[in-house]
Chains A and B, each alone.
Chain A
């Protein structure tokens, strides 16, 4: 049983260390929302501390036993468990994070999901912030365009950033995944692009597009919701941002 405890401690050390690593290096934003960082650091630190303390205790009791103090090492946790120890499975996500480091969800996931415009309870949107062009999120643009009927957008130039998603009939969309907790609840928001795009705007390429509101819309074949369009005046390729999701 001491041995099983040691194996569990090593697994927890690996998992805790992995959580600390992705939280501190910032790659955690590919999987969960930005605000979870502190919780991940805390959870990782607890796991590392518990694992190290357990290992020290295991080694120390094993040592004192060898020295002749042959007392029963009872950690107060009745050892009624038998057979399969599921803690081994934790090696899989830890190694996937450390060795594969999977990317954030992109155009493949966006094309599978229906555009996520569900608000619409009130269509009172505050005026756009200052700026020419004004930088807003894809979700904000789509909400103002569909539910606010473009009233608050008017003829203002807006700048959106997102990745390219190819649709039916050669249509191209600017998409962004919106998450609430983690990538498992990710929903895409899509904005159709009318106008010229850079020739290298292949699916998953990140673009910063500037344009104005147009009344043109399209229907998402996945869930039947409307997809608004942006009349593009300029577009340029940008590197993938540090925070891939909107929330």
Chain B
């Protein structure tokens, strides 16, 4: 798209936008349009520090960590590497925006895709920051934290194993990068620039979609859905996909959905960090559309099923 004239087109866009500044401000007057713009920029602003952190890490994995490191660190048998990578998600204190570029870099570094995918799913759901937020949001209900940890870890490991059995490498577009040659600092800089620009770019698509649904779906509808035990679970899991709330904040939103059963809210917390609109856009950008259209629906089904299973044991 950028072609050879990227910088020049960009300059024209900026000049036109600045010239049209007054018109832009006046055109966003309806409260609904204003709410859309506010929510849209809020999602982008909120996610940017995590995107930057994620790309600093992913670029380091891609250019600074020795080539064979991960192959040595993980068990040779992929079936064992999957649960280990899933549990390693406990260690990355970020949200889902950081884990997509990191998982992409792990794959490029020779980590078996199934293990990288287990990490991709578990890291945003079970890291200490998210679990602590969940404990704060549900005071007096430690089962919610346990349920979230168990169901999320189980879902990510199950998806890793499922990928081992059914996944095909040609569904994945993991950019095969050539070995790093020349100056490592220059390579690192280039990797940060490109990963940050692309991950954040896909984030913008997801933020626009999430803001649209945020503004269009009347919260009143949810009240009607909450009454039915089965529909309420599917509805909240679907809402998690549509709202695309950061995994560090979703527990507080779940807590405010008081009319829903605890199992339905657990499904919201399990599905949200693994499948949502902005994540789908970022996954499609990093791993290819053919991957995302298969992986996201499968994750949704597995996540809902395991959340219901764990929920029925707890409550």
A contact set with B: CB distance below 8 Å: 3-12, 14-15, 19, 22, 28, 30-32, 36, 39-40, 42-43, 46-47, 50-51, 53-54, 57, 74-78, 80-81, 83-93, 95-97, 99-106, 108-109, 112-114, 116-119, 121-122, 180-185, 187, 221-225
Q: Are B259 and A8 in contact (CB under 8 A)?
A: no
Query: Which of B72-80, B110-118, B193-201, B292-300 faces chain A?
Result: B193-201
**Contacting residues, chain A, for B7 (C-beta < 8 A):** 3, 6-7, 10
Chain A residues contacting B180 (CB-CB under 8 Å) are 76
A160 and B4 alpha carbons, distance in the complex (Å): 58
Please tell me if the beta carbons of A112 and B219 are within 8 angstroms of each other in the complex.
yes
Cβ contact within 8 Å between B190 and A183:
no
A-B contact pairs, 14 of them (CB 8 A): A10-B7, A19-B48, A40-B49, A46-B56, A50-B189, A81-B175, A95-B17, A105-B35, A108-B35, A109-B35, A181-B46, A182-B46, A184-B210, A187-B253
Interface members, chain B 170-196 (any A CB < 8 Å)? 175-178, 180-182, 184, 186-187, 189-194, 196
Counting chain A CB atoms within 10 Å of each CB, which of B48, B56, B138, B249 scores highest?
A: B48
Kindly provide the distance from the CB of A137 to the nearest chain B CB, expressed in whole angstroms.
Answer: 16
CB distance from B87 to the nearest CB of A (A): 26
A/B pair count, beta carbons within 8 Å: 259
Pick the residue among A57, A85, A105, A183 that contacts B1 (CB under 8 A).
A85
With A19-B45, A93-B204 as contacts: A181 and B191 at CB distance below 8 Å: no
Chain A residue contacts of B18, Cβ below 8 A: 99
Cβ-defined contact, B186 with A75, below 8 A: yes
The DSSP consensus for interface residues of chain B is helix
Closest to A44 in B: B48
Does B132 have its Cβ within 8 Å of any Cβ on chain A? no
| Chain B residues with CB under 8 A of A99 | 17-18, 21, 24-25
Please determine whether B214 and A184 come into contact, CB atoms closer than 8 angstroms: yes
Give the size category of B's interface with A. 35 or more
Which residues on B sit within 8 Å (CB–CB) of A84? 1
A182 to B45, CA, bound (A): 8
User: Binary interface profile of B, 1-13, with partner A (CB < 8 Å = 1, else 0)?
Assistant: 1111111011001
Q: Are A223 and B189 in contact (CB under 8 A)?
A: no
Q: Tell me whether B237 is interfacial, beta carbon within 8 Å.
A: no
* Given A76-B181, A104-B38, A185-B250; 18 other pairs, CB 8 A cutoff: A6-B6, A7-B6, A10-B7, A11-B197, A14-B14, A40-B45, A47-B52, A76-B177, A77-B177, A77-B187, A85-B201, A90-B204, A102-B38, A112-B219, A113-B219, A118-B256, A121-B141, A187-B253
